[in-house]
Amino acid sequence: MTTLHPRAYKATVIWTLGLLFLGSIVHATESSLACPDWPTCFGTMVPEMTGGVFWEHLHRLVAGGLVLMFVLATWLARREASDRPWVYRASVAGVVLLLVQSVFGGLTVIYRLPDLISTTHLSLAFIFLSLATVLAVTTHGAKDSKAPPAMKGLGREDGAKLTRYAAVAAIAVFLQSVIGALVRHTDGGMSCPDIPLCLGQIIPPLINIQITSHFLHRVMAIVASGAVIWLYSWTTTKCDVPNQVKRLSMIAVGLLITQLVLGVVSVLTFLAIPPVSMHTLFAAALLSILVALATIGAQSNAEVETPDMSTTTL
């Protein structure tokens, strides 16, 4: 019987990426307070969709759709994945996370965009994206009870290394993204208007949160780049690593390069809307790919360590 919850999880990942992109447009167009109230917009759920209201209310509608999509995925998992109860429990945790993140979104409006709450709102979105990615990868291929193709051919040692290297890269990208959210919400995007230096220095005077967060964002970009490149180098030089894993690591490098270029272009164009919005989207996509690779490594270990009961004799 064909199962539907893996498809619902994959749709959730794509939907979340779209929502993150839309949220970046909302901020870049300065539409975050176009609807001064929450959860309604000017006291109604169907405001006139013009100007900044279009972007802000569209963002809310898409966010509501994401909640409904993931609730559906959770319901399907309860019906179809009874042999793996952890999938359902993780889904329930994801629903709670989504609701908390939505509340933080409301607080950003009610309290007029406080830096810490706004940064937390975006950070929770990245955490949810990571959880949805884990669920999408681990349930892939569930309809025939076989391991996803990318897992086949990974030995126990290689799977452990893949998990370790990809997890380190994912954590670095996540931290860079959180700092980037702080840069965005403290209006520090142009605190270092020159590249590759910052205010003409390698280490600028860290006299305020805008300069400090912008500088740390650049430092973490170097750290994250090193981690992703190391992962790519390891996967491409190992002959016994499955081709699908190598392709995913190549995609990760491509996303990294594009995201770095978009970051530079964002500064050179004085935070033009297209590069700034795409910068967030590519960071989220990179995080999702890295989480997927880490999950594939972890799943390959689980497959190796789990005995095949069908061939066990008494």
pLDDT of residue 238: 80
**pLDDT (average), residues 187-203:** 94
pLDDT of residue 240: 79
What are the strands, taking DSSP E only, across 150-228?
Answer: none
- List pLDDT tens digits, range 276-296: 999 999 999 999 999 999 999
- For residue 205, give both structure tokens: 């005077």
For 52, phi and psi rounded to 5 degrees?
Answer: -65, -25
What three-state secondary structure class fits 201? strand
Residues 6+ apart with CB under 8 A from 299: 137, 138, 147, 148, 151, 159
Say yes or no to pLDDT of 28 above 50: yes
How many other C-beta atoms lie within 10 A of the C-beta of residue 151? Answer: 26
pLDDT of residue 171: 98
For 2, phi and psi rounded to 5 degrees?
Answer: -70, 130
Question: Where do the domains of the chain lie?
Answer: 1-146, 148-307
**pLDDT (average), residues 299-303:** 70
| Residue % of the chain over a pLDDT of 70 | 90
Nearest of 256, 246, 248 to residue 226 by alpha carbon: 256
Say yes or no to pLDDT of 146 above 80: no
Confidence of residue 3 (pLDDT cuts 50, 70, 90): confident
pLDDT of residue 140: 84
CA angle 216, 218, 219 (to 5 degrees): 60
- DSSP for 213-263 reads HHHHHHHHHHHHHHHHHHHHHHHHH-TTS-HHHHHHHHHHHHHHHHHHHHH
Looking at residue 310, the DSSP 8-state letter turns out to be G
- Cβ-in-10-Å burial (0-12, 13-18, 19+) of 219 comes to middle
- List pLDDT tens digits, range 31-77: 999 999 999 999 999 999 999 999 999 999 999 999 999 999 999 99
- Adjacent-strand bridge partners of 44: 41
- For residue 173, give both structure tokens: 């990208």
- List pLDDT tens digits, range 78-112: 999 988 999 999 999 999 999 999 999 999 999 99
